[in-house]
């Protein structure tokens, strides 16, 4: 089921009340994709998301009274962007990425796994370009990945 946007989604800073929902979105994505190794327990994932929230690096998109997705950023980098299964394809990822573009107008990089072809297509559609590739030696998952860059609004 694709989420219909009858009401306007809201993007806001993540709060401690959002941590469990964000952790579940991330864990569900790992289970669904089939190629991603499960390296962390549910509790470790919750700790990771809670840390992003406490550091002020996580933004959520809420729709229909619940968290539909989230994005985590640091200076000049999008660290991750995940959506609930039913929220994908409804423009919410674009909204989160546009929010990051407003917050980092000079540009940013992100890394996406090479196997995540849907994400790579999405980022290319949104104006990011491939700027580097890795065999996975630099990430904990040991999976090949692609660096994409948004050059900024200038």
CB atoms within 10 A of CB 99: 16
The pTM of this model reads 0.93
Token pair recorded at residue 86: 């039913």
Task: Give 94's pLDDT tier (boundaries 50, 70, 90).
Answer: very high
Distance, CA of 31 to CA of 14 (rounded, Å): 23
**pLDDT, position 7:** 76
Q: Which domains does the chain have, with CATH numbers?
A: 10-150 (3.40.630.30)
Q: How far is CA 14 from CA 22, 82, 112, in A?
A: 9, 13, 22
Mean pLDDT within 102-111: 98
Task: Give 127's pLDDT tier (boundaries 50, 70, 90).
Answer: very high
**pLDDT, position 6:** 57
Say yes or no to pLDDT of 2 above 80.
no
């Amino acid at each position: 089921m694709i989420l219909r946007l009858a009401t306007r989604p809201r993007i806001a800073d993540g709060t401690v009340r959002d941590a469990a929902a964000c952790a579940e979105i991330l864990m569900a994505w790992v289970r669904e994709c089939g190629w991603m190794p499960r390296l962390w327990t549910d509790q470790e994932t919750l700790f990771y998301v809670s840390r992003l929230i406490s550091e002020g690096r996580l933004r959520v998109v809420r729709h229909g009274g619940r968290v539909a997705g989230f994005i985590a950023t640091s200076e000049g980098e999008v660290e991750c962007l995940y959506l609930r299964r039913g929220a994908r394809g409804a423009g919410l990822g674009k909204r989160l990425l546009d929010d990051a573009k407003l917050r980092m107008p000079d540009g940013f990089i992100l890394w996406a796994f090479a196997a995540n072809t849907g994400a790579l297509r999405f980022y290319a559609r949104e104006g990011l370009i491939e700027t580097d590739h890795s065999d996975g030696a630099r990430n904990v998952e040991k999976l090949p990945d692609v660096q994409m860059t948004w050059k900024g609004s200038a």
